[in-house]
């Protein structure tokens, strides 16, 4: 069955460092992959989209990579700040399904 895993349930890093979150999937061939941010008591908010034929996408301090051979996406936040603390979700878009990972709770300590 289709499965999507975000390797770390929680990640705690020092302010200023680069945070790297991982999204792995099996039995799926997504056309797109997206990353969302979710704050407590709120709905997920879209951050970045990457297509299956793209290797890397950047937006300000955010970078996403997509390796369809490894079936993996990495999400990086450079120069992390306490305000980046949130849960980050990856989502796979296929022909007819949108599946979300369970999320990684990121905490940036000052």
Partner 1 sequence: DAGVIQSPRHEVTEMGQEVTLRCKPISGHDYLFWYRQTMMRGLELLIYFNNNVPIDDSGMPEDRFSAKMPNASFSTLKIQPSEPRDSAVYFCASSSRTAGSPLHFGNGTRLTVT
Closest separation between CB of residue 24 and partner 1, Å? 15
When asked if residue 45 is in the footprint of partner 1 (CB under 8 A), the reply is yes
Long-range contacts from 29-32, C-beta under 8 angstroms, 24+ separation: 29/68, 29/94, 30/92, 30/93, 30/94, 31/93, 31/94, 31/95, 32/92, 32/93
Lay out the site mask for partner 1 across 55-94 (x = CB under 8 A, - = otherwise).
----------------------------------x-x-x-
Which one of 25, 103, 104, 108 is in contact with partner 1 (CB under 8 A)?
103
8 A C-beta contact, residue 93 and residue 31: yes
Contact criterion met (CB below 8 Å) for 33 and 92? yes
- Residue among 44, 80, 104, 108 that touches partner 1 (CB under 8 A): 44
10 is an interface residue for partner 1 by CB under 8 A: no
- Closer residue to partner 1 in complex, CB, 8/18: 8
End-to-end CA distance of the chain: 41
Binding site for partner 1 (CB under 8 A): 31-32, 34, 36, 41-46, 49, 51, 89, 91, 93, 96-103
């Amino acid at each position: 069955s289709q499965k999507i895993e975000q390797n770390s349930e929680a990640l705690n890093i020092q302010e200023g460092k680069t945070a790297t979150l991982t999204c792995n999937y099996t039995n799926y061939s997504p056309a797109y992959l997206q990353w969302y941010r979710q704050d407590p008591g709120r709905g997920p908010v879209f951050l970045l989209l990457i297509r299956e034929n793209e290797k890397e996408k950047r937006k300000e301090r955010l970078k996403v990579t997509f390796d369809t051979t490894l079936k993996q996406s990495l999400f990086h936040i450079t120069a992390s700040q306490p305000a980046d603390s949130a849960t980050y979700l990856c989502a796979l878009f296929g022909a007819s399904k949108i599946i979300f990972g369970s999320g990684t709770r990121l905490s940036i300590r000052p």
